[in-house]
Amino acid sequence: MENVEVYRSLIERMLALVDAGTTDSAEAAYRQPTSVYTDPGLLALEKETIFRDEPQMICFSSDLPGKGSYYTFDDLGTPVLLTRDNDGEVHAFLNACTHRSARLKEGCGKTASLACPYHNWGFDLKGKLRAVWQEQTFGSIEKSLYDLVRLPVEEKYGMIFAGMHPDVSFSIDEILGDMAPVFERWDLGGTAHVNTHEWKIKTNWKLALDTFCEGYHFLALHKHTLGGISIGNTAAFDTFGPDGRNHRLAFPNESMLKLRDKPRLEWGPEIFNDFQLVHFIYPNISLLVSPVSVEFFKLYPGDAPGEHRTIFRSYVRKGGEKGWDGNDPQAHFEFICKVVDEEDYWVSANVMKNLNTGLLGYSTFGRNEPALQNMHKAFLRGVGRTPVEAPLAGKAGAAAVSC
């Protein structure tokens, strides 16, 4: 199936939802203790389980452009070095020399081999130790025992995922499930990086993530930005991947309404401009794919429950260099930064301040927020806890309980 057929089906669903004055919904509202955002014990558990055991989406193939390119990743405390060898194959290593553990590379770039800055041992791009500097003085060693520490990695559909520990096993096809063919046709590897922005906001990493997972807030919080574009509080919701823990939300734009008067078969690829497509990939990725750009958000826990870090990388898709809605890609990047900064993360940091008072025991996710319900239940399963359906009739301000 071409992606245009995927878009047509989504639009049919969204128009039906708009006409019915509803949205894809959960069976009931779901009430969850706010301790999921404030409990230091849960944060430690999330780091020891979810963030240690799950693969991480690191970058796109275009971030490792061609043979001899390298890319470093330090977002989770494990220093990772990606290389693309002379056969075009991607490798992931601990960014550490096997002599005395010095860091090998910073940033990203191109190199023929990896020379350690400390005592100049040389490794090839496949991680093999090739040269011990001034070997005659060092003494004899079995070089094959000194290859770089290898980490699991896979490149597929233009994305590169890696595990932060040698024991992590995964496959991108399993992560994407039945959404894999759609990702394959997007050709994310053909994108070009535009710019990167980093937020360190005093809020829990899941509170920050929550802002990406519903359209209920669009016409309220974003009334002066997205409010003029989006229909709001309407979304086609789908889950994918293991246990259905990933999700896709398609949010209709006002411009979609004009398609009611046009036969379905005349809807061409341009209909991708009539909605916004947001993907959550467990545990911490939000990926916004549009005809022109791809917005890649990676969210990480901080040292305390009320601290987090988001890294936002903006990419322009092939053919999108002329820009978005008349703006150039840099202007689009700045617009996204402004909306997240002044609206979503502003609200999220204030929620955290209120939760820190200990006076708000529960958060409630409505029927119209099915993605949030699905995602938070997956997080609890991920740390080995059973989601508890808190009674909806209780007082919102009841004391927080652990779940």
Binding residues for ligand FES, rule: CB under 6 A, are: 97, 99-100, 102, 116, 118-121
Stretch 163-222 residues interacting with Fe ion (CB under 5 A): 211
Phi (first) and psi of residue 375, to 5 degrees: -65, -45
Q: Which two tokens stand for residue 92?
A: 């992931």
**List 336, 344, 360, 368, residue binding Fe ion (CB under 5 A):** 344
- The two structure tokens encoding residue 223: 């009334």
- Residue at 45: amino acid letter: L
Contact 225, 339 (CB under 8 A): yes
103 vs 156, which CB is nearer to ligand FES?
A: 103
CA 93/CA 79 separation, integer angstroms: 9
Q: Is 39 in the site for Fe ion (CB under 5 A)?
A: no
Shortest gap between Cβ of 108 and ligand FES (angstroms)? 20
Site map 232..261 versus Fe ion, x via CB under 5 A: ------------------------------
Give the angle subtended at the CA of 156 by the CAs of 162 and 187, to the nearest 5°: 125
Question: CA-CA distance, 23 to 149, in Å (whole number)?
Answer: 48
Looking only at the bridges linking them, the beta strands covering 308-316 and 192-199 are: antiparallel
Measured from the CB atom, the residue of 121 and 205 that comes closer to ligand FES is 121
Among 309, 328, 317, 322, which residue's Cα sits nearest to residue 288? 317
347 binds, among Fe ion, ligand FES, none (CB under 5 to 8 A by kind): none
Site membership for Fe ion, residue 295 (CB under 5 A): no
**DSSP 8-state code for residue 15:** H
Residue 18 burial (C-beta neighbours within 10 Å; 0-12, 13-18, 19+): middle
CA 318, CA 248: separation in Å to the nearest integer?
Answer: 22
Run of H or E including 293: strand 293-301
Q: Which does 119 bind (CB under 5 to 8 A by kind): Fe ion, ligand FES, none?
A: ligand FES
Beta carbon of residue 198, minimum distance to ligand FES (angstroms, whole number): 29
Total residues contacting Fe ion by CB under 5 A comes to 2
> 102 or 172: whose CB is closer to ligand FES?
102
Q: Is 155 in the site for Fe ion (CB under 5 A)?
A: no
C-beta closer to ligand FES: residue 122 or 177:
122
In the complex with ligand FES, which residue's Cβ is closer, 116 or 390? 116
Min. distance of Cβ 150 from ligand FES in angstroms?
A: 17
Q: From Fe ion, ligand FES, none, which one binds at residue 121 (CB under 5 to 8 Å depending on kind)?
A: ligand FES
Q: Do residues 353 and 236 lie in contact, with contact meaning Cβ atoms separated by under 8 Å?
A: no
Among the listed ranges 260-268, 303-311, 321-329, 339-347, the one in contact with Fe ion (CB under 5 A) is 339-347
Question: Shortest gap between Cβ of 298 and ligand FES (angstroms)?
Answer: 29
Task: Choose the one of Fe ion, ligand FES, none that binds residue 378, judging by a C-beta under 5 to 8 angstroms depending on kind.
Answer: none
By a kind-dependent CB cut-off of 5 to 8 A, residue 102 interacts, out of Fe ion, ligand FES, none, with ligand FES
**What count of other Cβ atoms lies within 10 Å of the Cβ of residue 338?**
11
Distance CA 180, CA 174 (A): 9
Instruction: Choose between 100 and 260: whose C-beta lies nearer to ligand FES.
Output: 100
For position 124 contacting Fe ion by CB under 5 A, the verdict is: no
Cβ(17)–Cβ(236) below 8 Å: yes
What residues contact 273, with CB distance under 8 A and at least 6 apart? 253, 255, 290, 291
The CA distance from 117 to 137, in Å, is 18
Q: Report the residue number, 119 or 156, with the smaller CB distance to ligand FES.
A: 119
Partner touching 100 among ligand FES, Fe ion, none, CB below 5 to 8 Å by kind: ligand FES
- Could you tell which of Fe ion, ligand FES, none binds residue 344, using a CB distance below 5 to 8 A set by kind? Fe ion
Task: Return the number of the residue (160 or 278) whose C-beta is nearest Fe ion.
Answer: 278
Shortest Å distance, C-beta 119 to ligand FES: 3
Of residues 100 and 353, the one with the C-beta less far from ligand FES: 100
Considering the complex, state which of residue 212 and residue 379 has its C-beta at the smaller distance from Fe ion.
212
Residues 6+ apart with CB under 8 A from 218: 226, 227, 230, 232, 233, 251
Distance of alpha carbon 102 from alpha carbon 121, whole angstroms? 10
Residues that bind Fe ion (CB under 5 A): 211, 344
